[in-house]
Structure 1
């Protein structure tokens, strides 16, 4: 009885991995969505799939070079009893 679920899972994984890989295009007879507000041209599928620097920021290697004394925080008050 345990072979049947394993076989079913293996077949499902095999079928899930056999998709065709090619460039993304709109369906036949369909057009790309309209360009975003303020854009001068309609972005291509490749442009839409490329992450911007805001979506994937670069690493900052700025190191703390010298320590500074913390300033007094006027809002750091003890809780009421």
Structure 2
């Protein structure tokens, strides 16, 4: 509840990313069989990626150090 209040106050769009899962991370398959994320190309994709990273980083900073490893595996802010 505190996190929601703080993020809504500082950056309302950031809380929207956390709740709605704003980011889509497409995965490309290379000819050699290796898969990896496709880098953002448009300004909108870059902004979406920036918001997702900011949201995840903010949530990770709020987690106690003892519990940080448990949550490190989550890929996006919504699942975190």
TM-score, with length taken from structure 2:
0.26
Whose strand proportion is higher, 1 or 2? 2
Whose helix proportion is higher, 1 or 2? 2
TM-score, with length taken from structure 1:
0.25
Larger Rg: 1
Q: Greater RCO between the two (CA within 8 Å, min separation 6)?
A: 2
